[in-house]
């Protein structure tokens, strides 16, 4: 199997996509971790694709990773979401892990093909990831952390969990750090379940996390900066990319359905062709939104102030519904104004 470091991204994931296609239905039906698909990602070197080349990684841009995420999403939603959550954590390490220990960790993620999960939510904080109840406790260079997390996606299958916590027991809830919790020095006790419709393979129950590590595994920057400058904007772009892949698959299915109907009435587009034309306009808008956001991030990647502004906007909209009636109405209206040529093309 080729890797992204030896060929183009599109070529490198051909074999990976075939594996996802084979197991996607079974993974969601049985709510099981997509072991075969994640192993394929490992074999292709994709878990380390965003790590700089100096540490053995692929040195991919956010746009590159978004393209991969989109392709994965079209085949298996759960695998795509695992990939993008992993990448958002890895890029947090890349951009904010400023010690020799973090440089060594990046090398190990590549060589040992480590899967990274996150524990940024917590019971009794009202869903605010920028607030922590649990705290890091110190014994010289040794630290311990206990966290009651309502969800840790694929936590049982990851080698590392990045967990947020107060900097110390005397710190306020907003003074947070991000801690690298690595097995076997992590205990996860399942506390609940979550039937994540369409993403059951992410295996996202709640856990009580207990970890023991050293101060060298606390990322250098405070979590407020990590969240605003990397984790939030990157996660939103990559989530959007995975969802775009899911939409790609739906559009392809819709197009085939319309084409089948059109063959039954040559010369007369079926009524569904209009709806397909409307769908394709909205779909293209999503493409532009996702990759426009990736380009925006890359343009300001070295500007903490501008990234902080993006992160703040992302945080303020996290709890909002993604459905926007005014946008949908506008898109449909535009489709109607170009319905005749669009429906003809859609039916062909």
Please give the order of strands across the beta sheet that includes 160-166: 116-119, 160-166, 176-182
With pLDDT > 90 as the criterion, what percentage of the chain qualifies? 76
* pLDDT confidence of residue 304: 83
CA distances from 318 to 156, 166, 307 (A): 26, 22, 16
Confidence of residue 48 (pLDDT cuts 50, 70, 90): very high
d(CA 158, CA 148) in angstroms, rounded, equals 18
Q: What is the CA radius of gyration of the chain?
A: 22
> How sure is the predictor about 9, in pLDDT bands with cuts at 50, 70 and 90?
low
pLDDT the model gives residue 312: 60
Tokens of 149: 């997390």
Confidence at residue 127, expressed as pLDDT on a 0 to 100 scale: 76
Q: Which residue has the higher pLDDT, 40 or 318?
A: 40
93 has a pLDDT exceeding 80: yes
Give the model confidence (pLDDT) of 256-302 as tens digits: 999 999 999 888 899 999 999 999 999 999 999 999 999 999 999 88
186 pLDDT higher than 60: yes
What is the structure's pLDDT at 267? Answer: 86
pLDDT of residue 327: 31
The pLDDT of residue 125 is 80
Provide the pLDDT confidence category of residue 90 given band limits of 50, 70 and 90. very high
By the 10 Å C-beta count (0-12 exposed, 13-18 middle, 19+ buried), 29 is classed as: exposed
The SS3 call for residue 135 is strand
What CA–CA distance (Å, rounded) separates 344 from 107? Answer: 53
Binned at pLDDT 50, 70 and 90, residue 334 comes out as: very low
pLDDT confidence of residue 219: 97
What's the whole-model pTM score?
Answer: 0.85
Contact 162, 116 (CB under 8 A): yes
Shortest CA distance to 149 belongs to which of 171, 179, 170, 172? Answer: 179
Mean pLDDT for 207-218 is 97
């Amino acid at each position: 199997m080729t890797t992204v470091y030896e060929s183009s991204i599109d070529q490198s994931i051909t074999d990976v996509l075939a594996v996802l296609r084979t197991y996607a239905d079974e993974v969601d039906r049985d709510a099981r971790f997509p072991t075969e698909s994640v192993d394929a990602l490992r074999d292709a070197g994709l878990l380390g694709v965003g790590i700089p080349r100096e540490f053995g990684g692929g040195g991919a841009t956010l746009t590159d990773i978004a393209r991969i995420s989109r392709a994965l999403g079209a085949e298996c939603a759960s695998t795509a979401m695992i990939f993008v959550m992993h990448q958002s954590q890895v890029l947090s390490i890349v951009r904010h892990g400023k010690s020799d220990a973090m440089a060594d960790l990046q090398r190990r993620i590549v060589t040992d093909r480590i899967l990274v999960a996150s524990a940024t939510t917590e019971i009794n904080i009202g869903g605010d990831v920028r607030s922590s109840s649990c705290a890091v406790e110190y014994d010289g260079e040794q630290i311990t952390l206990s966290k009651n997390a309502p969800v840790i996606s694929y936590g049982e299958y990851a080698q590392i969990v990045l967990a947020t916590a107060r900097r110390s027991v005397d710190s306020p809830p907003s003074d947070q750090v991000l801690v690298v919790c690595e097995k076997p020095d992590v205990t996860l006790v399942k506390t609940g379940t979550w039937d994540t419709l369409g993403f059951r393979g992410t295996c996202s129950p709640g856990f009580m996390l207990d970890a023991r590590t050293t101060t060298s595994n606390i990322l250098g920057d405070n979590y407020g900066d990590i969240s605003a400058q990397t984790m939030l904007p990157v996660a939103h772009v990559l989530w959007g990319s995975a969802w775009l892949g899911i939409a790609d698959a739906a559009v392809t299915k819709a197009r085939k359905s319309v084409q089948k109907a059109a063959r039954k009435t040559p010369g007369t587009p079926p009524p569904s062709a209009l709806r397909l034309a409307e769908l394709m306009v909205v779909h293209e808008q999503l493409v532009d939104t996702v990759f426009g956001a990736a380009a925006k991030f890359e343009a300001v990647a070295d500007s903490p102030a501008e990234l902080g502004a993006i992160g703040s906007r992302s945080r303020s909209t996290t709890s909002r519904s993604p459905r926007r009636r005014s946008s949908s109405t506008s898109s449909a209206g535009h489709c109607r104004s170009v319905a005749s040529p669009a429906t003809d093309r859609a039916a062909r």
